[in-house]
Structure 1
Amino acid sequence: MKILIYSAKDFEIPFLEKANNDIHQLKYIPERLTAETARLAIGFDAISIFSADDASSVVLEKLKDFGIKYIALRSTGYDNVNLKTAKKIGIQVANAAGYSPEAIAEHAVALLLALNRKLILANQQVSSYNFSLSNLVGFDINKKTVGIIGTGRIGKVIARILHGFNCRIIANDIYEDKKLIEEYDTKYTDLENLCQQSDIIFLSTPLNSETHHLIDADLLQYVKKDVIIINIARGGIVNTKDIIQALELKRIAAYGTDVYDNESEVFFYDRSTNKPKDLQLQKLIELPNVLLTPHQAFATKEALTNIADTTFYNINCWQKKVPSKNELTLELVG
């Protein structure tokens, strides 16, 4: 099978090569999938895309015209793919589900620890031979109330880790996880109550029409003034404008995020000599109580191995005409 790998990054190519094992003919390009770059898929059977690629209806229609039959996502989330259109026109789509929830959850906790214990500021001060502790006071995570919005694979691991910190765990999800309730004494509650009680809030829910801008000015009025919010899900889960305003007005203590709602064409690229004209992003970067990382939570050897293996498991299933367990369009193609 001939496969075009969109948004290919140098650090992931060795993992993809190993997983392919010389079975398929691959071509790597750094370009994102867009309406303009869809034409690059002419002559290929399948494409592989990442979270910043655009697989909207218009793009999918073009890909279908260009002969693409399969799309293998190198991510768990698929909010960038119009599955309804894919099903309608007969393009099969599969994701890399659950490639390493540990990698994502551990990064979420790293953001929390770095913000709480002022590690970035401490490093900056020490680099200037300033060893004062005046600006470096944090708090014990021990016995704090942690609210987890979204208790899927990643949320479960966050709960497990924070239970190890002796935290009280509360959660919000459309499905209550009995294992979390039994093993970690997790209490499920509504969003308003979770915000009122939590000292720390983790966002680990998928992005969809129900969760878009879930965290906005209306919900932020319920949170504690010293709350730390960690977003490990998608940038669109929060209304970034409202988050910035809450930070500036000291309605929340800090915001740690590995995602940003306008990260396309910015994250994963070196923009140091061609800075994006995004005032909102600039504000996030400049705020002292924000820690922004460039969507790097998945960047561990274990996660990259699992992503590559799952990507080619899906492709091999398609070649063999057997269902993939990660198929997102299975009911259409049968």
Structure 2
Amino acid sequence: MKIAVFSCKPYDKRTLASYADNTALSMTYFESRLSMETISLVKDFDAVSCFVNDDVNAEVIHLLKQQGVHTIALRCAGFNNVDLDAAKAEGIKVFHVPDYSPTSVAEHAVALIMTLNRKTHRAYHRVKEGNFALEGLLGFNLEGKTVGCIGTGRIGAAFCRIMKGFGCHVLCYDLYPSQALIDQGCQYIPLEELYQKSDIISLHCPLNTSTHHLINKDSLKKMKDGVMIINTSRGALVHAQEAIDSLYNGKIGYLGLDVYEQENKIFFEDMSSHIIQDSVFQLMLTFPNVVVTGHQGYFTIEALNHIAATTVDNLLHHQHEDSGSRQLA
């Protein structure tokens, strides 16, 4: 089977190649994203492998089918960038990696919380300049604080367990409550109540029509003044401009983002010598109480290896029952 691997960085190639060696898979690696502009690259391939910012819309899927592609292997858990209905109509199978390393993303969410709270990003630069003054670096104890977790799948559950370890009171919202989390002392409550009671809110839900811009001016009005918002899930869960408005008026006291709604134009690339053509994003970076990372929550050795192993397994055994839970269409 010949596979075109898109959005492929050197670290992706290294791990994928190590698992695909001595198999029936022949992989060709492209650093560019899959889109209408790059669809011509899939000629003579049987399958494509994509990542979070590839644009696999209905038109792309139709052209994939015309080129003879029968399988799409996502190297991520989320699939909001793929038109699953179009894939099903075209008879193209779609697989994802539902469980690559939940603790990787959960631990990164905690890293954002700790950075924002104890202001280590600012302290680092002060000390480098010989400034050891503590004024402006005051934080708070996490122990005893109320943490709201929206979405308690694998990643959200891992996040809840960590925050319980800090001694936090953990409130949860999910359509399908986890008995295991309830047994560990987490409490499921209505979303409106979670907004009202939480000191910190962390997003771990998928992006769909019901969660698009979940954090907006209306939901923010229901939250505590100075609330901390953490998003390591999908960028469009947060309405960026309305989050900025809430930073100005103090409703949001801390904002930690590993994802951004328009990230496909900038993330995973070295933009240091370019002018980023996104005034909202640029404005967000000017706030001292905002920390943005470039979608690196998943980026651990364990996660990369698991993503590669599962992707290769999905491609090798896509007709077998053992991969059925990973098939989306």
Fold shared, TM-score > 0.5 on shorter chain: yes
Tell me, in whole angstroms, the C-alpha distance in 2 between the residues paired with 1:276 and 1:253. 25
Q: Mean alpha-carbon deviation: is it higher for 280-289 or for 158-167?
A: 280-289
Paired residue for 1:222?
Answer: 222
Q: What secondary structure sits across from 1:87 in the alignment?
A: helix
Tell me, in whole angstroms, the C-alpha distance in 1 between the residues paired with 2:159 and 2:147. 10
The 5 Å alignment of 1:108-123 reads 108-123=109-124
Q: What secondary structure sits across from 2:81 in the alignment?
A: coil
Query: Is there any run of 5+ residues in structure 1 with no aligned partner, and where?
Result: 330-334
Post-superposition Cα deviations, 1:133-171, rounded to whole Å, max 9, x if no partner, equal 001000000010000000000000000000000110101
Tell me, in whole angstroms, the C-alpha distance in 1 between the residues paired with 2:186 and 2:299. 29
Paired residue for 1:290?
Answer: 290
Paired residue for 1:242?
Answer: 242
Paired residue for 1:332?
Answer: none
Contact 1:73 1:93 in 2 (8 A): yes
Q: Which amino acid is the alignment partner of residue 16 of structure 1?
A: L
Paired residue for 1:322?
Answer: 320
Tell me, in whole angstroms, the C-alpha distance in 1 between the residues paired with 2:170 and 2:313. 36
Paired residue for 2:202?
Answer: 202
Post-superposition Cα deviations, 1:48-86, rounded to whole Å, max 9, x if no partner, equal 000000011111111111111000000000000010110
Paired residue for 1:211?
Answer: 211
Report how far residue 124 of structure 1 moved: 1.1
RMSD: 0.8
Paired residue for 2:256?
Answer: 256
Tell me the TM-score normalised to structure 1 length.
0.96
Report how far residue 96 of structure 1 moved: 0.7
Report how far residue 286 of structure 1 moved: 1.4
Tell me, in whole angstroms, the C-alpha distance in 2 between the residues paired with 1:59 and 1:244. 34
Post-superposition Cα deviations, 1:296-318, rounded to whole Å, max 9, x if no partner, equal 01110000000000000100113
Q: Which amino acid is the alignment partner of residue 15 of structure 2?
A: F
Tell me, in whole angstroms, the C-alpha distance in 2 between the residues paired with 1:21 and 1:102. 28
Contact 1:39 1:63 in 2 (8 A): no
Tell me, in whole angstroms, the C-alpha distance in 1 between the residues paired with 2:151 and 2:272. 34
The 5 Å alignment of 1:138-287 reads 138-183=139-184, 185-287=185-287
Is 1:32 aligned with 2:30? no
Report how far residue 22 of structure 1 moved: 3.3
Q: Which amino acid is the alignment partner of residue 283 of structure 1?
A: L
Tell me, in whole angstroms, the C-alpha distance in 1 between the residues paired with 2:190 and 2:40. 46
Q: Which amino acid is the alignment partner of residue 126 of structure 1?
A: V
Tell me, in whole angstroms, the C-alpha distance in 1 between the residues paired with 2:22 and 2:270. 31
Q: What secondary structure sits across from 1:286 in the alignment?
A: coil
Tell me the TM-score normalised to structure 2 length.
0.98
Paired residue for 2:310?
Answer: 310
Query: After TM superposition, what 4+ stretches of structure 1 lie above 2 angstroms from structure 2?
Result: none
Q: Which amino acid is the alignment partner of residue 240 of structure 1?
A: A
The 5 Å alignment of 1:6-45 reads 6-23=6-23, 24-45=25-46
Is 1:96 aligned with 2:97? yes
Post-superposition Cα deviations, 1:218-277, rounded to whole Å, max 9, x if no partner, equal 000011112111001100011111111101111110100100000003100001112321
Tell me, in whole angstroms, the C-alpha distance in 2 between the residues paired with 1:298 and 1:53. 17
Contact 1:147 1:202 in 2 (8 A): yes
Post-superposition Cα deviations, 1:166-207, rounded to whole Å, max 9, x if no partner, equal 110101111111110111x11111222101100111000000
Q: What secondary structure sits across from 1:253 in the alignment?
A: strand
Q: What secondary structure sits across from 1:14 in the alignment?
A: helix
Q: What secondary structure sits across from 2:256 in the alignment?
A: strand
Tell me, in whole angstroms, the C-alpha distance in 1 between the residues paired with 2:274 and 2:45. 32
Paired residue for 1:65?
Answer: 66
Q: Which amino acid is the alignment partner of residue 22 of structure 2?
A: D
Contact 1:74 1:95 in 2 (8 A): yes
Query: Is there any run of 5+ residues in structure 2 with no aligned partner, and where?
Result: none
Contact 1:146 1:200 in 2 (8 A): yes
The 5 Å alignment of 1:76-95 reads 76-95=77-96
Tell me, in whole angstroms, the C-alpha distance in 2 between the residues paired with 1:156 and 1:118. 26
Tell me, in whole angstroms, the C-alpha distance in 1 between the residues paired with 2:226 and 2:280. 23
Q: Alignment length, in residue pairs?
A: 326
Report how far residue 11 of structure 1 moved: 1.5
